[in-house]
Chains A and B, each alone.
Chain A
Amino acid sequence: MKFKKLKLFVLTIITAIFISAGAFAETLKIGSMGPLTGPYAADGNDIANGVRSAIAVIEDEGGIEGFDKIELFAEDTACDPRQAVAAANKLINSEVIGVIGAYCSSATIPASEVLAEEDIIMITPASTNEKVTERELKYMFRMCGRDDDQSKAAVSFLKYKKAKTVFIIDDKTTYSQGLAENVAKGCEAAGIKVILHDHVNQGDKDFSAVLTKLKSKAPDALYMSLQNSATGSLMAIQAKRIGIEATILSQDAVYHPQFIDIAKDAAEGIYLTCGFMDKGTESYKNFIAKFQKITGTDKSGAYSVYAYDSAITLLKAIKKTGGTDPAKIKEAMLKMNYQGASKNISFKENGDSSSSYIIFKVENKNFKNHWNPETGELFSETK
């Protein structure tokens, strides 16, 4: 035990040095919140790394006038409302200007109420619950798309694939379930029969029962709405093992290179909806270069890109106003319209951002642009 105690001791000293070193310069402080520990740590770290990349990019461009440097306070919420509120209060004490986060809606909602009391801007890269922006909080923004936008793309793709029946599985989180319900509604309206809308629980690893049920019903398509990519790959592997031939469609939480790494062959041919990411744009290249520098890998999921765009938007707005007045920053953000790494970024009055979902297909261990729901056409490279 000695050693572990020592590790702790060493850490204390190291952190103490860091903290004391950072205290002098005129710094711009921004915060990020997400589950850095616990079962969703992967996505929480993606978010923090996305924000770090954004800060590195802005500092490379010469930083922000009036500030020597930008400092990030990455707080852990563990997806627990109580710890999320504690983290929000901690960030307020640290006098941050804006916060990127949180991940789970159940952490974002209570934390945003606390931050709102102090007029701190909050941009969530991942919480899709419509209530996040519908509470008339002044400084609440959302970078990811809403459930209703994404479900429209999913339904029109199912229609394009001429699916007559669909089996829906979600894993009982605010995000996955909300999306699945919207898809179910959309399918009914479009004349696609929802055979069954089944749920599994978060943290489950074995989906053989529900997949066997699915196989016996023989639907044309399976809509797989899951909270994270690891669960997605587990389900894909088991679906292949059990011999499911339906078209499998999933969503942006599964858009992570990890999904293909784990599921391997089982991932091939799976479709998913995600925001249109043009990997040729300047901003995406900037992002991926910094992301690689920070994490040592260029494998970035959707959450990193959303977090990156959120942070860039916030920093750009601060740069434009040249100060830290939240009302002015908000105004600047609402006026914004530029090509970000994930999409063309502009905000609506209520804080939601615009979104353009397309269909990706996993081909040769890569996510390929496949079909555009707006034009109803295949992308040229896949033709």
Chain B
Amino acid sequence: MEYFIQQLINGLTLGGIYALIALGYTMVYGIIQLINFAHGEFFAAGGYMGVILLSFLSANGYLATNPWLCLSGSIILAMIYCSLLATGVEKIAYKPLRKSSRLSVLLSALGMSIFIQNGLMLTQGVYDKPYPSIFSGGGFDFGNIKISYMQIVILLITILLLVFLNILVFKTRIGKAMRATAQDKTMSSLVGIKSDRVISITFIIGASLAAAAGIMVGMYYGSVGYNMGFVPGIKAFAAAVLGGIGNITGAMIGGLLIGIIEIFGAGYISSEYKDVFAFIILIGVLYFMPTGIMGENVDDTRV
């Protein structure tokens, strides 16, 4: 039983991380139906920004005196940085292609992903960078079960973001504009919504979420590397699709589900085949629910 609970906690944490990335992913995805390969790279850039700022602060001694202030400041700066990066990428690589086939944008995104990943490698070096250890230690012990503070923080932040995004999308004006743009760009521009601006804002939100996720992951695992965005990017894509494309709650559920399946697959059956279990369940779910768990009606969109 203890074993089961510990694994469940592990699964929830890993799922929380996937969900964190998938939330930003699904926002962008829902609005322009772009498989944004570069999203994983925004996540990595956020992680790097976090490590750069935090080690700068810690070397100057601010981190020891004001840890919370430093951390929140770094997160905000990293979010701004990633927003800048994302706006640039969107303006250069995606916007000119908005009227062409979706596969052209996909390819452009793949090019950007390779470019940013290698840009990070060249500017930041090939070695992984250590995070200053401030919050990573410590936790609660219940007998043999251990929960670290970081695990709780990750889950809390994921849930908070979920609530925040749902309010944003369903209760605010900009959310309404987003939904309208996602539904039909022509119609929404006819009723006075600047769809280009809405798309840019969505990109900014998505990239800032990725930046926050990058810092969380960096702090949880203790290091960041230039290629850290690739695998989580694919997992987040899977989570977003499993939950239903463009559905925020769905992305969260999808992320948690994939995380839990992986951990239980590894913990109870075989850890080398854990990704296989995750993908088999993904395929099974999509076979019976072709639009994902929370997906809405079948639309006729194709390649």
- Give the B-binding residues of A (Cβ under 8 A): 1, 4, 37-39, 41-42, 44-45, 172, 198-201, 203, 205-206, 208-210, 212-213, 215-216, 230, 233-234, 237-238, 241-243, 258, 261-266
Contact = CB atoms under 8 A, between A and B. Distances in A.
Given A172-B272, A209-B10, A233 B126 contact: no
A77 B95 CA distance: 34
Interface in B1-33: 2-3, 6-7, 10-11, 13-14, 17
Contact of A262 (B2, B222, B263): B222
Contacts of A37: 118, 121
8 closest cross-chain pairs (CB), A and B: A209-B266, A208-B10, A199-B272, A42-B126, A262-B130, A209-B267, A230-B128, A41-B126
Contacts of A242: 146
Contacts of B7: 208-209, 212
B68 to A, nearest CB: 21
A261 B130 contact: yes
Interface in B263-286: 263-264, 266-267, 271-272, 274-275
A354 B299 CA distance: 66
Given A37-B118, A38-B227, A264-B222, 17 more contacts: A1-B92, A41-B126, A199-B271, A201-B272, A205-B217, A209-B7, A209-B262, A209-B271, A210-B267, A213-B3, A213-B267, A233-B222, A241-B136, A241-B146, A258-B127, A261-B130, A262-B129
> Which of B13, B14, B227, B264 has the largest number of chain A CB atoms within 10 A?
B227
Given A201-B272, A234-B222, A212 B231 contact: no
Contacts of A212: 3, 6-7, 10, 267
Contacts of A215: 144
A338 to B, nearest CB: 31
Interface residues of B, number: 45
Contacts of A266: 222
A213 B271 CA distance: 10
Nearest to B89: A1
A372 to B, nearest CB: 30
Interface of B: 2-3, 6-7, 10-11, 13-14, 17, 92-93, 115, 118, 121, 126-130, 133, 136-137, 139, 144, 146, 148, 217, 221-223, 225-228, 230-231, 262-264, 266-267, 271-272, 274-275
Contacts of B121: 37, 41
Nearest to B272: A199
B223 A210 contact: no
Contacts of B226: 41
Nearest to A171: B272
A200 B146 contact: no
Given A210-B266, A237-B222, A4 B271 contact: no
Contact of A210 (B3, B14, B144, B271): B271
B227 A233 contact: no
Q: Is the interface of A mostly helix, strand, loop or mixed?
A: helix
Contact of A45 (B93, B126, B146): B126
Contact of A263 (B14, B127, B222, B227): B222
A1 B93 contact: yes
Q: Is the interface of B mostly helix, strand, loop or mixed?
A: helix
B97 to A, nearest CB: 12
Contacts of B92: 1
B223 A233 contact: yes
A45 B226 CA distance: 14
> Which of B137, B144, B266 has the largest number of chain A CB atoms within 10 A?
B266
A230 B129 CA distance: 9
B227 A39 contact: yes
A95 to B, nearest CB: 29
A210 B7 CA distance: 9
Nearest to A36: B126
A200 B264 CA distance: 14
Contacts of A213: 3, 266-267, 271
A376 B33 CA distance: 64
A206 B14 contact: yes
Contacts of A198: 271-272
A7 to B, nearest CB: 10
A177 to B, nearest CB: 10
Contacts of A44: 126
Contacts of B11: 209
B258 to A, nearest CB: 12
B109 to A, nearest CB: 14
Given A230-B223, A234-B223, A241-B146, A209 B126 contact: no
A200 B223 contact: no
Contacts of B93: 1
A216 B118 contact: no
A45 B121 CA distance: 12
Nearest to A170: B272
A193 B144 CA distance: 24
> Which of A45, A201, A208, A258 has the largest number of chain B CB atoms within 10 A?
A208
B115 A4 contact: yes
Contacts of A238: 221
B262 to A, nearest CB: 7
Nearest to B96: A1
Contacts of A265: 133
